Amino acid sequence: MKILVAISNVPDTTTKIAFSDNDTKFSTQGVQFIINPYDEWYALVRALELKEAGKATAVTLFHVGLVDSEATIRKGLALGADDAVRVNAESPDSFFVAEQIAKYAKDNAYDLILVGKETINYNGSSVGGMIGGLLDFPFVSLATKLDVNGNTATIEHDIDGGIQVVECATPLVISCSKGMAEQRIPNMRGIMAARTKPITVVEATTDAPLTNIKSFALTAGRTTCKYIDANNVEELVSLLHNEAKVI
Amino acid sequence: MSVLVYIEIAKGKVKKASLEATNYAAQIATQLGTSATAIAFNADAAQTEEIGKAGAKKVLVVKGDQYKNNDAVYLSAAIEQAAKAEGAKVIITSFDVTGKSLAPRLSAKLKAGLVAGAVDYPTVNGNVLEVKKNVFSGKATAIYTINSDVKIISLMPNSFPVKLSDNKAEVADFAVDLNGITSKIVIKETKSTDTAGMIPLPEAELVVSAGRGLKGPENWGIIEDLAKAIGATTACSRPVADMHWRPHHEHVGQTGIAIRPNLYIAIGISGAIQHLAGVNGSKTIVVINTDKEAPFFKSADYGIIGDAFEVVPKLTEAIKKLKANN
């Protein structure tokens, strides 16, 4: 069983967001980049666990991004992935990313395509479902548990107000969420080994993008906090009822 | 050239998110000089009537058992056919659990540009639609241009109003050809996580959340009592979920779930950036914390500096009094 894990290169969670070029680009100055947490802690770690359990033969990382992303890809290789593929392009949107993954997964016969449930920079939650549509593969979203037996995946995933357990024959696409695995720290041996693992660079497809970002804007913060005395909670209730009108 | 909106029916009722989507679809249909058509699966007369009141000129009703589990394979096939039949150039869904599987699949099948999680109405610019959505976990917004011929917008829940009118929709059965289409996903078990009659967190409009300031899981009684008094759903911060004081589906934050309730009360939560990312879309935020330097106060509308164990029970009593008098 071959597993393809798609990873995104994202600003770390404490980054102060800023834009440049007249608010048309995300400013990377001083920004620390990491692998999207959902891709790393859940999709990648689970794939590695399946390999360690002898249920998968190979774990390949797939990334769409320019050469500056290679440091982030090496972190994934340090955790234990076997190799990586980088599509040399700056992605305009989720569909572009999905197209690249779908093409590579199909040409190289991957059985499981794992993505994180969303990226913390674009929050689209779309790439997994798009790959499913492009390849006509089943797609299971918001998976919190994954096991594989032969060609069948057993998946627990979140649905409205509950949890559902499903089975599905491979090949399929799964988006991974909290609960699937625990974050790992790469060890020295992994970091050393990552240096010589292959990152194959491929060119992107050339279709015109379906969407792109015209401009960004920072979200206005809340103005000021109105403080209420701890001995006067009735005032808070009155404000919530009469002023905020939420209760 | 109509606008097609996907309707989800859950537990016998049209989902509020679907009514929001219908209102939105009707609005943009007017902008585009056309009308909104809704597509609903196994809907009855009461449900189609409500969809009409929310602004749909026509409701297409698709019947079939395959649709009962909201499997995107079947929903997408039906909607693709309806979109072709209606000449629909814009498709609207909600950015909820079903929408997050359905809209992307439709996007791929129709080569239709998708903006997922829209927070505003689109601007029409010739053949192009410009739509705003949140990015960087709500710290910013981005305006996307959709360049494709067919366009899909999924809406952030609880971001758009639901206005009902006297409008009566024309209701028609729509036959879908599912020949050769079978989903490989087999459902083995479904478990509910709905606790004690609380509205599921992603849909809750009132939320009471607590964190490490509560000191231990045994102290959550005061939180649950407050939630019950308000009619709110309980939530928690990440450390508390990681320590198993609260179930993981209560965790709101950057690596938990993002919510946009009308009211978010945060008790004993300091307000780290990662937590704020999950709740900054809330309309009103109340922070209760003993630490006056807690960063959360900078993102709050109302704050009480005080001991949760004293303040929260008093708040519960005051809420009960309000409800009794109104």
What distance in Å separates the CA atoms of residue B294 and residue B272, rounded to the nearest whole number?
Answer: 9
Q: Does B181 touch chain A (CB under 8 A)?
A: no
Alpha helices in B93-230 (DSSP H): 97-110, 221-230
Place of tokens 């990491």: A34
Q: Does B116 touch chain A (CB under 8 A)?
A: yes
A218 to B139: CB separation less than 8 angstroms, yes or no:
yes
Kindly list the residues from chain A whose CB atom is less than 8 angstroms away from the CB atom of residue B318: 233-234, 236-237
B118 and B154 in contact (C-beta within 8 Å)?
A: yes
* Omega within 30 of 0 (cis) for the link into B247: no
* Residues 6 or more apart whose Cβ sits within 8 Å of residue B177: B81
What distance in Å separates the CA atoms of residue B98 and residue B104, rounded to the nearest whole number?
Answer: 10
Q: Choose the mutation target among A93, A211, A218, A239 for the interface with B, i.e. most B CBs under 10 Å.
A: A211
- What rounded mean pLDDT belongs to chain A? 96
B318 to A213: CB separation less than 8 angstroms, yes or no:
no
Kindly list the residues from chain A whose CB atom is less than 8 angstroms away from the CB atom of residue B113: 93, 95, 209-211
CB atoms within 10 A of CB A149: 9
Over 80: is that where the pLDDT of A186 sits?
yes
Kindly list the residues from chain A whose CB atom is less than 8 angstroms away from the CB atom of residue B188: 154, 165-167
Q: How many residues belong to chain B?
A: 326
Closest approach of B271 to chain A, Cα-based (Å): 12
A125 to B100: CB separation less than 8 angstroms, yes or no:
yes
What distance in Å separates the CA atoms of residue B40 and residue B206, rounded to the nearest whole number?
Answer: 28
Q: What is the pLDDT of residues A41-54, one digit of tens each?
A: 999 999 999 999 99
B13-14 vs B9-10, strand pairing mode: antiparallel
Over 90: is that where the pLDDT of A221 sits?
no
What distance in Å separates the CA atoms of residue A219 and residue A12, rounded to the nearest whole number?
Answer: 18
pLDDT for B238: 94
A138 to B100: CB separation less than 8 angstroms, yes or no:
no
Over 80: is that where the pLDDT of A64 sits?
yes
Kindly list the residues from chain A whose CB atom is less than 8 angstroms away from the CB atom of residue B314: 233
Work out the angle between the directed axes of helices B16-32 and B45-53 (0-180°, nearest 10): 50
pTM, two decimals, is 0.92
% of chain A at pLDDT higher than 90: 94
Q: Does B186 touch chain A (CB under 8 A)?
A: yes
Element (H, E) at B177: none
Q: What domains are there in chain A, each with its CATH number?
A: 2-217 (3.40.50.620)
Among B42, B52, B59, CA closest to B4: B59
A120 to B322: CB separation less than 8 angstroms, yes or no:
no
* Residues 6 or more apart whose Cβ sits within 8 Å of residue B197: none
* Two structure tokens written together for B41: 């699966």
Closest approach of B153 to chain A, Cα-based (Å): 11
pLDDT for A73: 98
* Two structure tokens written together for A53: 């359990």
One-letter amino acid at A41 equals W
User: What's the pLDDT band for A160 if we cut at 50, 70, 90?
Assistant: confident
pLDDT for A157: 97
> Which of B187, B188, B248 minimises the CB distance to A178?
B248
B230 to A247: CB separation less than 8 angstroms, yes or no:
yes
A165 to B189: CB separation less than 8 angstroms, yes or no:
yes
Q: Choose the mutation target among B6, B129, B225, B284 for the interface with A, i.e. most A CBs under 10 Å.
A: B284
User: What's the pLDDT band for A156 if we cut at 50, 70, 90?
Assistant: very high
A164 to B187: CB separation less than 8 angstroms, yes or no:
yes
Which residue ranges in chain B fall short of pLDDT 50?
none
> CA distances (Å), B174 to each of A100, B37, B62, B284, in order?
35, 12, 5, 43
A159 and B189 in contact (C-beta within 8 Å)?
A: no
Kindly list the residues from chain B whose CB atom is less than 8 angstroms away from the CB atom of residue A172: 184
A19-20 vs A25-26, strand pairing mode: antiparallel
> Which of B140, B283, B300 minimises the CB distance to A225?
B300
